[in-house]
Structure 1
Amino acid sequence: MLYLEDLKVGDHFKSREYEMSLQEIKQFAGAYDPQVFHTDEEQAKSHPVFQGIAASGWHTSAVTMRLWTECFPVAYGLIGSESSLRWPRPTRPGDRIHVEVEITAITPSKTRTDRAIVSYVTQAKNQHDDVLLISTTKIVVFKKDFKPE
């Protein structure tokens, strides 16, 4: 587990790879983002933007979250306070996603000395190093001497 004392600006973390299967893309989309460019290979071919089936951006985000939790194991969990994200390129069936995280700022709490807000940039990339997702995120990170109330 990582605590505030273990982190510094410029630290990098890299996850394992995760392969996106066609079946999983369709299953996720069917449950949470049922648009034809996520669910129907034939109809997706004629889509003016995707020109083929693509994973939902939310699916890519969910996989990114899973990979974050594995490569960036912060004590007490990744407690988000803010995030913004973009999907510059679609995730396709067979893409092997990995996540790269870089800490960009650490801002101590003004009222609670046992924690800080840690800001980081994440890039989810495929096997060709194409960026599929970029996010900037802020999380609460605790010091080792933190005592839950």
Structure 2
Amino acid sequence: MQYYEDIEVGTTASFGSYEVTAEEIKEFAEKYDPQPFHVDEEAAADSMFGELVASGWHTMAMCMRMVNQNPDPVAAIAGIGADDIRWHKPVTPGLQLELHTEIVDKWPSDRDVSGFITRGIEARDQHGDAVVTYETTALVKTRAYDE
């Protein structure tokens, strides 16, 4: 577990591996983003994408899943926000996603038991191409929080 005191600006990490399936793309989209190119393979073939693609919000959810699979997680209390979200490449069935992170900023909170960190996040496919980039800010525990 990485507490606020342990986290240094510039630290990078790579982790996760997430295989994207057509079934999951359609299931997520039917519930949350029911556009034809997310839910229907024939309609998707006739779209600007030419094939079934994941919703950008589904891509973000997959990234969140990988963040939570980090073998050395940050002692987060709560997410504060996400900024500069950019979807670079459509996410299609069969892609394997991996997460790459970098701590880009940190500052203390007004309490002794927590601080803030901002992390740059990039998800890449198995070809090394970025599919999404963004930054998240989180409130993180100090060791004193658990004392």
Q: Same fold (TM over 0.5)?
A: yes
Deviation at 1:147, TM superposition (A): 4.6
Q: 118-127 or 13-22, which moves further after superposition?
A: 13-22
With the length of structure 2 as denominator, give the TM-score of the two structures: 0.92
Deviation at 1:70, TM superposition (A): 1.5
Answer yes or no: is 1:113 the counterpart of 2:108.
Answer: no
Q: Distance in 2 between matches of 1:31 and 1:131?
A: 26
* Paired residue secondary structure (1:16): strand
Show the 5 A alignment for 1:1-149. 1-48=1-48, 50-71=49-70, 73-75=73-75, 77=76, 79-84=78-83, 85-109=85-109, 111-147=110-146
Contact 1:83/1:138 (<8 A) preserved: yes
CA shift digits 1:108-130 (9 cap, x unpaired): 12x21222110110001110111
Amino acid in the other structure paired with 2:51: G
Amino acid in the other structure paired with 2:69: E
Contact 2:101/2:122 (<8 A) preserved: yes
Q: Distance in 1 between matches of 2:9 and 2:42?
A: 46
Amino acid in the other structure paired with 1:46: D
- Unaligned residue ranges in structure 2 (runs of 5+): none
Structure 2 CA distance for partners of 1:32 and 1:78, relative to 1, 3 Å: farther
Amino acid in the other structure paired with 2:13: F
RMSD: 1.4
User: How many residue pairs get matched?
Assistant: 145
**% identical aligned pairs:** 37
